Every structure is written in structure tokens, then in C-alpha cells.
Structure 1
Amino acid sequence: MKLAAESLGAGPDLVMLHGWGMNSSVWADFAARLADDYRVTRIDLPGHGNSPFDGRQELTAWARACLDAAPDRAVWIGWSFGSMLCLQCALLAPSRIEGVVALAGMPRFIQAMDWQYAMSPTTLDQFIKALHKDHVQTLERFLALQMLRSDHAVQMLKRLKSLLRERPDPLPEALRSGLELLKSVDLREQLTKLSCPTTWIYGNRDTLAPAKASDDLRQWLPGASMHIVEGAAHTPFLSHPEETHQLILRSLESMHG
């Protein structure tokens, strides 16, 4: 499947992958900041925004589709589910990924006995059931959950909804597939195989990707760069754009050597 991609700016290449149920327009404001120094390529995930969906449900298939739409070599920036895809791309094509910046990112999004700082399986199952009944209402609930406890939540939610309307709604079958991936994928043990540097940026008020996960990540990625944005929840690039921008710029400088 040929995914929709859009590039902006000039300079070293960056790729940006959005989260579940969203589209690449969520990056509009933030990508414009980065485009002052970089060539930024935003990709709509399968079945999201302007991208088609061919029904393939493996994370590797989604990742290969993203790689096909991306520049030959770049630093990849992923938000939420997009971060998991960035990691999978780095594992599949290490020569093409110069570094990964994960915003509210997780190698596993649901809790386990040895992975407590994540979403409860019950919460995710509720989303899956609700999605079958009414995917529009489920997305509305998910948008609100991402803003929960964040600074500037009301303004952010309004802006996010405005941005999302710039592209078509995600396809229900792609939403279902994405949730199943969030429920089943666990990349923790594979993190040791990563050959590129990684940066992880969390909001200290995030309930979907808790900042405490950064402590556990160090057992697989002892050299990773970890940052916490105070007052942010699941969308630090929206609630605290300047602080997040500066953190990313510093990471990109080190990744580009």
C-alpha cells in the first residue's frame, strides 16, 4: 500500500509518524518549527488520513509501508503508537534510521507483571469493544483521554480537533487493527538490537504512557536519552511545544554528530 506523505523545509531528513486514530495533520504546527532546520516528511499511517489500508495487520507490514514512503535515511520521530512503528522500522532497516525520537512512546503499551507503567489491559479491551459499537464516539473519548490532567487541555483539544478535520477520518478496520497491535506487540527485548541512538520524551501527567516507564527502559537501553516535560500529558508537542522543540533539537544535533 502506498501511504500518503508530505514534505516541508530543507536540510537533513526527519520523518514524523503520528499516533493511533490521528493523522499527520496533528504535526502541522510542530513540523513547521522543525522545518526551519530540517526537511520534514509527515506520513499518514495505514488507513489514517489520506492513506489507504490493505487489511494487513502485522506491525512489520505497517512499518514496511512507512519505510516505502520515507526518505532513504533520516531521524524518525514517533508519537505514541507512531513511536512503536519507528522502533520497528529501525529494527527492520537499521541502515535507513539515523535515530529515533519517541514522544510518549512505549515498546509495549499494556501492563504486564514486569511492566507496570502502562495502560491496563481492561482499559484497552473497553476501547476495542466500544470501537465496534461506535468508532466516532470512541475516538472522541480517546482525544479527551490524551489531554487528561495536561496544562492547557481545553485549548489543546480544540486545536487538535481542528487539525484532524483537515484530513479524512480513519477507516474503522484500520482503527481495529491498530488497537490489536497496541494490545499484542511487545518490542522490549528487541530494543537491545537497536543500532541507532534513541531519545524518549514523556509528560509527567501522562496516563497512557506514564513517564515512570523511562526507568524500566534503561535495562534495555542504558545509553538512551530520557526527558520528562512537567505539566504535559500524552501530547507534549502540543501542550509544551517550545520545551519539546528544544529537547528534540538537542537530540537531533547529537544524532547527526
Structure 2
Amino acid sequence: MSRPLVLLHGWGLTPAVWQPLLDALPKTLDVHTPALPGHAQATAAAPGIAAWTEALLAQIPHDAVVCGWSLGAMVALDLAARHPSHVARLILIGSTPRFVSTTSRDHGDAWPHGLDPAVADDFAARFDHDPAATMQRFVALQALGDARRRAVTTALTAALSDTGAEGARALADGLQVLTTTDLRPAIARITRPTLLLHGDGDALMPLAAAQWLAAHLPRARLLPLAGCGHAPFLSQAADCAAAIGRFTLE
């Protein structure tokens, strides 16, 4: 029997975003799709990567193949660093150790492979003012650079999490996790085999971020996906499912 496969979605979405990938994965796999804290009616957690990982821990079997996308990939990295018994293998989609860029003047080590801090601050302010409209902007950014941009936009929009008052508060916490987390110091502790899937047209998180992870994770390999944006598992579901299935069963 294969190891359990856990899929962790990204910020602002629900586990429904995985449906095209689930349809393409081998039916023999034991797949788990927990919701991130505060998403899809899941209980909220304090705004910190450690608290989010702890909130999900009970839903992640031991010795699982953990596949995270975007913010879910950051949670997967934190899980592998602090709870390695839960992680047999890692699959990281559209991933980065740090979402927001920084210079050596305001941080110990410069990180050029992220979103400009001013853009991140503006996004947070817009979200506070109009969560629903800001989520649509975020969807557009995730689909940018994808050859199947319209289809990806449709799929992401259909899987958006609730932006009502309670949902918006939880999503604001998640946005804080996304923009304040820096997992670079933890990377050296992650020794599990890792597969990185990354769209070569990703406009939200550049391919260079995944290349950095591939160079610094000791057992990682990177598979760039041509013509894909930030959600390659939507635009190339069959190819992603094949790669994930092979890696899970190795």
C-alpha cells in the first residue's frame, strides 16, 4: 500500500481547488485534503506559521507524502522541519521559503526572489478595505503567465474561500502568515526527498525561488513546467498528477 498523500492548498482557496488534480491522480492513492486554518469553515489559528502547522498536525498522518501549494507549501516545509515523522516525502508547488523580498539592509541576508514589500503592504490594505475584490485581483495574479489563463482563473474563482466578516478575519491572519514567514533558516533541517513543481511563467512567485530551494534542500529535484503560472496543477493537471503519482510511489 502506498503512503498517504496530503494536499495543502494555498491562501484564500479551499480544498476544492484540488479537484482537477484529484480527477487525474491514480485512484489507488490514499489522498487527504485538509483545509488551512480559517479556510472553508476550518477553525482559525493564531497568525504564525508554527501555529498553523500545529493546527493541521492532527489531520496529517505519520509517514505521509505532503504536497503543498503556495502558502500550503510553506506549511509543508515548516512541518518537515519541525515534525519530520509526519513527512516521508515533500512535494512543493509554486513554493518559496519567503514570500516577500528583502534587501541586506533590512535583513541579515537579501532575498530578491519575492514580492516587493510595498506591493505586499498595498495588497493587505486593499484586502482590509474590500476582501472580495482583492481576492479577485489575487486570482488574476496567480493565473498570469499561464497559457490556459482563462481556465485557471475560472477554476480558482470557483474555489475561493468565504470573504464574509468571519472568513475575512481568518484570511487576514493567513495573509500575515504569508507575508511575514521566512523559512530559510529551517531549510538545512529538511532532509526528506523533495519534488519541486513550478510554472516557468509564474508571475506571483518566480522560478528563481524554487531554484533556490532546489539548490539548498539536500535531496530535492526541480521540474519546471512550461507555459504555466502559479497553479500548474490546474493548467497541466495530467502532467502534475503523473509526476506526483510517480514520486509518491517511489
1:137 equivalenced with 2:133 (yes/no)? yes
* Alpha carbons 1:48, 1:169 under 8 Å: kept: no
Deviation at 1:59, TM superposition (A): 1.0
The answer as to 2:34 corresponding to 1:43 is yes
Residue aligned with 2:51, SS: helix
> How do residues 106-255 of structure 1 correspond to structure 2 at under 5 angstroms?
106-113=96-103, 114-164=110-160, 168-169=162-163, 171-254=167-250
**In the alignment, which residue of structure 2 is the partner of 1:5?**
none
Q: How does 1:94-109 map to 2 (within 5 A)?
A: 94-109=84-99
Aligned residue for 1:15?
A: 6
User: 2:56 & 2:146 partners in 1: Cα distance?
Assistant: 30
Give structure 1 stretches of 5+ with no counterpart: 1-9
- The 10-residue stretch of structure 1 (18-27 or 114-123) with the greater mean CA deviation from structure 2: 114-123
Q: Does residue 28 of structure 2 align to residue 25 of structure 1?
A: no
Deviation at residue 11 of structure 1 after TM alignment: 4.5
For normalisation by structure 1, the TM-score amounts to 0.88
For 1:37-76, list aligned pairs within 5 A: 37-54=28-45, 56-76=46-66
**8 Å Cα contact 1:49-1:169 kept in structure 2:** no
The question of whether the paired residues in 2 share the 8 Å contact of 1:91 and 1:193 is answered with yes
Letter in 2 for 1:30: L
SS at match of 1:244: helix
Distance in 1 between the 2:212 and 2:62 partners? 32
Which whole-Å CA distance do the structure 2 matches of 1:128 and 1:112 have between them? 17
Q: What's the CA shift string for 1:13-69, capped at 9, x where partnerless? A: 011100001111100121232251311000111110121215x11211110111112
> Contact conserved, 2:64 with 2:86, CA < 8 A, in 1?
yes
Q: Measured at CA, do residues 210 and 219 of structure 1 come closer, stay the same or move farther in structure 2, by a change above 3 Å?
A: same
Identity in percent: 31
Q: Aligned equivalents of 2:221 and 2:190: distance in 1?
A: 14
* Count of aligned pairs between the two proteins: 242
Further displaced range: 29-38 or 66-75 = 29-38
Amino acid in the other structure paired with 2:36 = L
SS of match in other structure, 1:102? strand
* Partner residue, 2:107: none
Runs of 4+ deviating beyond 3 Å: 167-170
CA distance in structure 1 between the aligned counterparts of 2:75 and 2:53, rounded to whole angstroms:
6
Q: Counterpart in 2 of 1:93?
A: 83
Q: Secondary structure at the match of 1:202?
A: strand
Is the 2:191–2:219 contact (alpha carbons within 8 Å) kept by the matching residues of 1?
Answer: no
- TM-align CA RMSD: 1.8
SS in 2 for 1:78: strand
Q: CA deviation at 1:232?
A: 0.1
Is the 1:188–1:220 Cα contact (8 Å) retained in structure 2? Answer: no
3-state secondary structure, aligned to 1:212: helix
Could you state the TM-score of these two structures normalised by the residue count of structure 2?
0.90
